[in-house]
Structure 1
């Protein structure tokens, strides 16, 4: 978090403590403007290796346009910097910030994931999985849940967790979303319990970056970014 971001958070936090309840909307408006127009709404993209994290970030950087033959190399240790991006939310240009694209290998969870989470203090998490490697996805999901619990300072601003069950173009002929999620019953119960305890919302969607329009991925992302802003709009 840079000096400007720290100043905004300190000012708005102080105002929130001293002003009457009726003026809290003013504080939300100031913070909303700071995030949406200046700093970028902080979010992170996590998930086991080769689930589409880099492709999703590239798609967002590409204004949610279809990409032909995009085949990224595996993300190296330390991750790759991601610039602030602009996206459309209900006709409004909204600035969002992922900071870094991190890999999904086991060895990166306690290093790159933790470092990114602590640095970003995200308002939203996008977690990606697919129809393969069930045990690895379960491990990654449970690591994320534990990280959210353990890193309370970094989790204070968390508003939403979205699970994207990616590569639906590969599995939709043989199964539906419920079939895929049947292997994750315990993890979904943990997600529901944690969200109720900590006060964040969650959503689960089938997705495909090969056919993003078919799965309304631009709508899903617009709803996600709208949900994590301090003053969500009606969309």
Structure 2
């Protein structure tokens, strides 16, 4: 199971953020600073924000005269509801020493709070910077894709609250097919910049359990363009370490035997 987030219909209402916080009893964020440069009062994903609606303000595309068209706004807003990607190859799972992180029967990744010891190894392991430790108790927190709700045949709170169906939940194969059709539809309408992000099982994390339709480059939304599972080199590192250890042991044994002779 997974998420498909279609940013082309996101209106930035933040209903998903509120629903996520209410259902999971997460601490509230401070009110937005209306004198600042953005309506984004959460800033990013973290221990207390498992859904984050990004507001990206960009200059409007110039015309041939080098200025916005008459009657057109001078800025362009891009909005996207970000979330944990629930990677197929999840580095956070690889580095967790206690088993606090586990893969569910829905192929999602969840942190068991009663098992987490606060070591923090999962924080730098995440290629998306999703996981964060909570200052009050030091444990790691992130989106669970509402594991308790989907186990009871309910949709996650964010998808249920989304008024435009920007956030869609369901079997990943169905979502990927639907997303492909949506991109084709947008291209036919002239929105040639529409693209999918995180849907490809052959990407650096084996495909994401939460993928997106974007209207610009991933970097514009604060997403890495080519995410790679950070533990991909661990097997080779362990093999090299084992080989080095065997070499040292052999050298010590030869030295010992030579000394005895």
TM-score of the pair, normalised by structure 2: 0.30
Structure with the largest fraction of helix:
1
Q: Which has more radius of gyration?
A: 2
